[in-house]
Structure 1
Amino acid sequence: MAVTQQEIENRLWDAADELRVALPEAQYSSVVFPLMFWKYLSDTWEHDHQEFLDENDLDDLSPEEAHEIEYRDYQSFEIPFIHPGTVQERRASWSCILDTITQPGLGQRVRASLQAIETANPDKFSRLFGSMTWTSEEVLPGEVLAAVMQTMDRTPKMHEGNMSHDVLGGAYEYLLKRFSDGSGTRAGQFFTPREVVELIVEVLEPKGFESVYDPTCGSGGMLIASANLLKARGGRGYTLSLYGQEAVPDTAGVARMNLFMHNLTQFKVEVGDTLKDPRFKKPDGSVAQFDVIVANPPYSLRWKPWANDPRAIGGVAPPQFADWAFVQHMIASMDPKKGRAGVVLPKGVLFRSSGQEGSIRQRVLDDDLLEAVIGLPANLFYNTTIPTCILVFRAPGTKTEERMNGVLFIDASNRFAKAKNRNVLTNTDITDTVTAYHAKVCADGTTVDPDGEGGLAAQFVPMTEIAANGYDLNISLYVKRAMAEQADLPTLIEAYNLARAERQRTEQHMLAILADAGVEGFDE
């Protein structure tokens, strides 16, 4: 019988809920994701191993021959033995360790198993499981770890013969969101709301066989969304080459597991500070370049400014605000022929002039790299309630002709639905925003909604006008005025006539009262 999405999600959450007696909800992910991925690997390995046994006569094969055939034709990774050659020898699989769950030292055996899998598969799983501090008895008592594993073991077998990668990936995403909903501001370190991710990816439109890079990848959601969008449009998501860098090792592990659970294997996720130590480079030492770059970096991060870095076009961002430094890194990372980038940032980047931000903004605009500014509603994110925006960049000279030497401003700040803990973008909000971005620009800078339904307020503003405003990108400087200029004249005339008639009635009433009181001199 097919496994339903809700069934696996409910059982995985039951396993996570066992942690409530030992850990705050903000720390659930560091335990549940490694265990879930370990079970997925083990179930997959055992399923493929059984297929190997069913299809081969081991009596005709030496152990060496059997191993070669199994790992050549059936297995895509290895689950080795731990403590080989001792009485404690056992395979580093979920089921083998589960058999020892009542014995002391469960956390040590789990840690040894996960480390053995990383070591046996360095190209695939190096540093995959993170720091694994939760395997210590002092952090997570053995009886609690046992309860989590026993509950998770009630989840149906997690191999492709039993459930699709869509179900597996969906379950992983469900847990990410569930943990984020319950963990407050910490969630912002690794989870961007999926509707915001979808909006950025739809704007940038990754194509088959392109490279996609997220310099602050968190749990890898933007990379996965890129592949999902391509698949939804009839393409092959697995043809994308996915790259991510993440400063927090445990979070990088979450991203790697997330990608694997979505059956995406053409990826590299590196650990490190992107501004200080970018890990993807060309042979000459300059940063590598990609077709699509997506990011939701930490907002207004304090950082140590560059002393001498070729990425610093227009100046160096001030130490209290790293926002434009992330933008500079993304610009440097755009492929010169078709590179485009989308980044979520606080709206302060549009107009702040502290330090070098104004100079950087001017240089980016003078070089005609900024294509669009999309204003988002407040309170969309888990780690801040401030209003944010999406900045869309294009490699030099790659804008369409009608969008050269100017910027498209879109105001979506009032498009949201209220949810329990935050505001959310609905499917209609996303569709309308993407439509406004792709709309044709008229000679007067207004945009044409192809559906003829008005859509969002948007205005294309020439660079000369932006320069006259001191390179201020505040959306209200351009979109509100544009809205006033686009107001429907018949509607304005009707409103005026109604107001005039109401004024006349009020005057007549006032004059009548004054006349009854004997007050004169107020004739029309």
Structure 2
Amino acid sequence: METQINQRDINQAAWAACDTFRGTVDPAQYKDYILVMLFLKYISDVWQDHYESYQEQFGDDEARILRKLERERFVLPIVKLTETNEDTGVVTTLDEFPANYYSLYERRSAANIGELINVVLEHVESNNKAKLEGVFRNINFNSESNLGKTKDRNRRLKTLLEDFHKPQLDMRPSRVSEDVIGNTYIYLIERFAADSGKKAGEFFTPLQVTELVARLVEPKAGDRICDPTCGSGGLLVQASRQIAGRDFALYGQESNGSTWALCRMNMFLHSFDSARIEWCDTLNGPLLVENDRLMQFDCVVANPPFSLDKWGAENAESDTYNRFWRGVPPKSKADWAFISHMIETALEKSGRVSVVVPHGVLFRGAAEGRIRQKMIEENLLDAVIGMPGNLFPTTNIPVAILVFDRAREKGGPRESCQDVLFVDASREFVSGKNQNNLSAEHLDKIMATFRARKTIDKYAYLAPVSEIAENDFNLNIPRYVDTFEEEEPINIDEVQTEIDALEAELVEVRAQMAEKLKQINRNPES
């Protein structure tokens, strides 16, 4: 009976492996090396576990064992390193070994260990093209600019391989569940984001925020779920956790190649092998299409880059998919461009959208104001939820979550719903060392309020669309939720009495200080 590894032990061991790079490599860079090594170790452990299982079944019948292993999720081929004699053309085999973590561990002291890791990753990728093509192309374990000169680089890589050889990081299925491994991956991404600060924004959204955004679209069995700016995939994972079982389909698109690779590995570590994650800019090159039309989804969730500049406004009017028919957002702020894309990819009369936005989206005028007005007049907006400030490593500004529901549009099952729920949860947080957090109680309170759709004094207000129109379609939350707290009346007599007492005490303290100074002057050596 194998000893099971618990979540805390594997998290701590994986995070300790980062000590190899701390102080010498930026967290925004070394995260890739750690997460790729975790993935390689995982698939190597699964392969080894299954190999040993087949050995028990088939004994020394190696050919039969290898035929079985060819049907694994990830095939780990044999690496053959050769050398060709330029004069004779004779090819000599220098080394031959399986493309897995354990072969690298055995060669951890090799002078070319960085090159060997790259060769193994190349072989793994080329033998699993359908799943891994391009995933390792942005990672170079032989990089002098990232990992230092040869001597330092070799020492760091040797230490890294040794760190992953700890018993706590033995990720064979007989010892650890896939849920635990997936949780460790997300745990590491969260820690890297905390260490990286503003550099982390492109690949990480705080877990409590992803959970809330996912819960607000209320995913259910059979849904197709999409995140058009998916980063490392945290929102997709959280959306999947709202559904019992595996009856759903996940889709995402990410513009940053390294972050796209993180998302692909994240999907595999959570056993979402069929998740479709595309690599390209969503606004200028949407790739989630079928039959030359944008794919349609039951749930669309996102935390897009806030107020992205130079997003491609000059090409928006001629957009192939006519996503910006309500208007083209300003070239310096892509917020409503992302929202327009999300609305157009939500299923007509049923699709649900949840998106994190900066507060300017709620009230800025001009083109943004016109787009906002049209969406409200179409009766698409369902809720506006104000969040606390300092929730993100990238910014300390407060944000809002907008919820849209296409079931409210004309002909939809919620057509009669002609109001918008405003929630001011900006004061609902737990103060942290570097940033604020949301507790489970805070999330539950927001969700209970969202589902009840009732006015709650100083917390929520159900505004008729007609009232929003009277406010010129301005969604600034304080216009609807009054959180003003009257200060308790001041008793002037009590305050004066306290002042008098303090002044008398001050006179006494000054007299004592003067006496002490006299004593010091009389006895300067004491």
Q: Please confirm whether the aligned pair reaches a TM-score higher than 0.5, indicating the same fold.
A: yes
> What amino acid sits opposite 1:259 in the alignment?
M
Match of 1:313 among 325, 346, 349: 325
Give CA deviations for 1:200-258 in whole Å, capped at 9, x if unaligned.
Answer: 1111111112111000111100111112222xxxx11x222111111111111111111
Distance 1:321 1:472 in 2: 18
Secondary structure of residue in 2 paired with 1:344? strand
Distance 1:399 1:296 in 2: 26
Give CA deviations for 1:379-406 in whole Å, capped at 9, x if unaligned.
Answer: 1111011110000011134876486232
Q: Does 1:248 align with 2:259?
A: no
Distance 1:78 1:5 in 2: 27
Distance 1:66 1:170 in 2: 31
8 Å contact from structure 1 (residues 199, 430) kept in 2: yes
Matching residue of 2:217: 204
8 Å contact from structure 2 (residues 349, 412) kept in 1: no
Secondary structure of residue in 1 paired with 2:300? strand
Matching residue of 2:70: 71
Match of 1:133 among 136, 140, 153: 140
Matching residue of 1:239: 247
Secondary structure of residue in 1 paired with 2:95? coil
8 Å contact from structure 2 (residues 138, 257) kept in 1: yes
Secondary structure of residue in 2 paired with 1:83? strand
Distance 2:76 2:459 in 1: 56
Matching residue of 2:195: 182
> What amino acid sits opposite 2:307 in the alignment?
S
8 Å contact from structure 2 (residues 453, 462) kept in 1: no
Q: Does 1:259 align with 2:267?
A: yes
Equivalent positions of 1:88-237 (< 5 A) are 88-140=95-147, 141-154=153-166, 155-230=168-243, 235-236=244-245
> What amino acid sits opposite 1:195 in the alignment?
Q
Match of 2:286 among 275, 278, 299: 278
Distance 2:416 2:439 in 1: 28
> What amino acid sits opposite 1:217 in the alignment?
C
Matching residue of 1:432: 445
Distance 2:116 2:7 in 1: 31
How far is 1:28 from its partner? 2.1
8 Å contact from structure 2 (residues 255, 279) kept in 1: yes
Matching residue of 2:51: 49
Distance 1:94 1:393 in 2: 46
Give CA deviations for 1:82-112 in whole Å, capped at 9, x if unaligned.
Answer: 2367322211100012111111111111111
Give CA deviations for 1:432-462 in whole Å, capped at 9, x if unaligned.
Answer: 1111100044xxxx36xxxxxx7x7211212
Q: Does 1:330 align with 2:329?
A: no
Matching residue of 2:90: none
Evaluate the alpha carbon distance shift between residue 499 and residue 261 of structure 1 in structure 2; reply closer, same or farther with a 3 A threshold: closer
Evaluate the alpha carbon distance shift between residue 402 and residue 434 of structure 1 in structure 2; reply closer, same or farther with a 3 A threshold: farther
8 Å contact from structure 2 (residues 55, 65) kept in 1: no
How far is 1:118 from its partner? 1.1
Q: Does 1:380 align with 2:377?
A: no
Secondary structure of residue in 2 paired with 1:424? coil
Distance 2:210 2:305 in 1: 15
Distance 1:216 1:409 in 2: 25
Match of 1:412 among 401, 425, 436: 425
> What amino acid sits opposite 1:93 in the alignment?
N
Matching residue of 1:361: 372
Evaluate the alpha carbon distance shift between residue 398 and residue 181 of structure 1 in structure 2; reply closer, same or farther with a 3 A threshold: farther
Unaligned runs of 5+ in 1: 448-453, 507-524
Give CA deviations for 1:331-350 in whole Å, capped at 9, x if unaligned.
Answer: 01101242101000001000
Secondary structure of residue in 1 paired with 2:109? coil
Matching residue of 2:381: 370
> What amino acid sits opposite 1:82 in the alignment?
V
User: Which stretch shows the higher mean deviation, 131-140 or 252-261?
Assistant: 131-140
Distance 2:283 2:418 in 1: 29
Give CA deviations for 1:164-193 in whole Å, capped at 9, x if unaligned.
Answer: 122212211221111111111011111100
Matching residue of 1:518: none
Distance 1:416 1:258 in 2: 28
Matching residue of 1:479: 481
> What amino acid sits opposite 1:307 in the alignment?
E
How far is 1:2 from its partner? 1.9
Secondary structure of residue in 2 paired with 1:43? helix
Evaluate the alpha carbon distance shift between residue 398 and residue 45 of structure 1 in structure 2; reply closer, same or farther with a 3 A threshold: farther
Secondary structure of residue in 1 paired with 2:317? coil
Percent sequence identity over aligned pairs: 35
Matching residue of 1:34: 36
Q: Does 1:82 align with 2:90?
A: no
Match of 2:308 among 301, 310, 330: 301
How far is 1:133 from its partner? 2.9
Give CA deviations for 1:463-499 in whole Å, capped at 9, x if unaligned.
Answer: 222112111111111111xx78xx9xxxx9xx9xx97
Distance 2:414 2:459 in 1: 22
> What amino acid sits opposite 2:180 in the alignment?
V
Distance 2:411 2:254 in 1: 29
Secondary structure of residue in 2 paired with 1:153? coil
Secondary structure of residue in 1 paired with 2:461? strand
How far is 1:49 from its partner? 1.2
Distance 1:399 1:130 in 2: 46
> What amino acid sits opposite 1:100 in the alignment?
R
Distance 1:258 1:311 in 2: 30
8 Å contact from structure 1 (residues 240, 266) kept in 2: no
Secondary structure of residue in 2 paired with 1:345? strand
Evaluate the alpha carbon distance shift between residue 70 and residue 258 of structure 1 in structure 2; reply closer, same or farther with a 3 A threshold: closer
Evaluate the alpha carbon distance shift between residue 402 and residue 338 of structure 1 in structure 2; reply closer, same or farther with a 3 A threshold: closer
Distance 1:202 1:427 in 2: 12
Matching residue of 2:277: 269
Give the number of equivalent residue pairs.
469
How far is 1:282 from its partner? 2.0
8 Å contact from structure 2 (residues 29, 146) kept in 1: no
How far is 1:352 from its partner? 0.5
8 Å contact from structure 2 (residues 109, 154) kept in 1: no
Give CA deviations for 1:274-313 in whole Å, capped at 9, x if unaligned.
Answer: 0000110120x22111111110000000112013120003
TM score, norm. by length of structure 2? 0.84
8 Å contact from structure 1 (residues 313, 360) kept in 2: no
Equivalent positions of 1:390-401 (< 5 A) are 390-395=401-406, 396-397=409-410, 401=414
> Considering only aligned residues, what root-mean-square deviation do their CA atoms show, in Å?
2.4
How far is 1:41 from its partner? 0.5
